[in-house]
């Protein structure tokens, strides 16, 4: 994919991107840096986090890596304080760190519940809670959720419940922080080709998965990063409290087979 980053759109911004050692988060960090933001890369894996920050620096951007486990409230507070001390302010929070269990509501244990909610939900709140005092001139929060917030499937609990909750958290942030000049929005990606989903695709029928998307393909991390950069920028200055699906139209499809039959009329 050709890099279409508008140069300088995020000049002067300071962004914390959680879960940015790889996958979607790493692409978001690189995109924000390419548009001029100073980026704090964060995650649990030191070699990958440092590699992401070094890649940004090699390409002329500004970045630093701070190790943080989003299940650890003290680590989240240190992450925010380090970002503010390093760059003097914070303008942008990208809450992206997430984990998932392949469990049903009946199978999930208290440990599964804590694992997902503490990382994917409580971690989002605490990052924003600690960052607010360092955002005196306003800014932007982008919470990465999933299209599971709207439509879901068995065996993804409590991940799917949390993703719906993130949309609600975003609305709460929007109405409470709007008077401070802080916008809050959610993006809801669908199938995106990262290491985890690539393994799933290899075990299924990739062609079939792509065919049930109106755009005829699954997403890339760069697809998501472009939307995040838009919401973080002044181009979205009047957008807050929104939940934007970034799923190639997947959740617009009611039934797969009728859609595939319709799509086949345009082939050849």
Catalytic residue numbers, as ranges? 159
Residues ≥6 apart with Cβ < 8 Å to 230: 236
Q: Where are the alpha helices (DSSP H) in 88-194?
A: 110-117, 123-131, 159-177
Which DSSP string corresponds to 205-221? -HHHHHHTSTTSS-B-H
Q: Strand pairing of 38-43 and 14-17?
A: parallel
From CA 14, how far away is CA 62, in angstroms rounded? 10
**CA angle, 209 as apex, 166 and 156 as ends, to 5°?**
35
Q: In what order do the strands lie in the sheet with 92-95?
A: 62-67, 38-43, 14-17, 92-95, 139-144, 182-189, 243-246
Q: Do residues 52 and 19 lie in contact, with contact meaning Cβ atoms separated by under 8 Å?
A: no
From CA 145, how far away is CA 154, in angstroms rounded? 18
Nearest by Cα to 79 from 128, 115, 32, 121: 128
H or E stretch at 17: strand 14-17
From CA 141, how far away is CA 16, in angstroms rounded? 10
């Amino acid at each position: 994919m050709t890099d279409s980053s508008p140069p300088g759109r995020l000049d002067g911004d300071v962004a914390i991107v959680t879960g940015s050692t790889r996958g979607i988060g790493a692409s978001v960090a690189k995109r924000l840096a390419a548009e001029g933001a100073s980026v704090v890369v964060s995650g649990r894996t030191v070699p990958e986090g440092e590699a992401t920050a070094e890649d940004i620096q090699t390409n002329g951007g500004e970045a630093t890596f701070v190790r943080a486990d989003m299940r650890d409230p003290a680590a989240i507070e240190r992450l925010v304080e380090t970002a503010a001390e390093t760059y003097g302010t914070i303008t942008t929070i990208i809450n992206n760190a997430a984990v998932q269990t392949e469990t049903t509501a009946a199978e999930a244990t208290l440990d599964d519940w804590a694992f997902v909610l503490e990382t994917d939900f409580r971690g989002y709140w605490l990052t924003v809670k600690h960052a607010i005092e360092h955002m005196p001139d306003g800014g932007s929060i982008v919470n990465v959720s999933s299209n599971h917030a709207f439509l879901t499937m068995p065996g993804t609990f409590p991940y799917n419940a949390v993703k719906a909750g993130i949309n609600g958290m975003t609305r709460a942030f929007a109405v409470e922080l709007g008077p401070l000049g802080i916008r809050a929005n959610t993006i809801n990606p669908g199938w995106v080709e990262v290491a985890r989903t690539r393994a799933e695709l290899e075990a299924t029928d990739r062609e079939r998965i792509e065919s049930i998307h109106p755009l005829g393909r699954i997403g890339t991390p760069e697809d998501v990063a472009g939307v995040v950069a838009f919401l973080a920028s002044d181009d979205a200055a009047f957008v807050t409290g929104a939940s934007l699906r970034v799923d190639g139209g997947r959740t617009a499809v009611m039934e797969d087979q009728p859609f595939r039959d319709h799509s086949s009329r345009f082939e050849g």
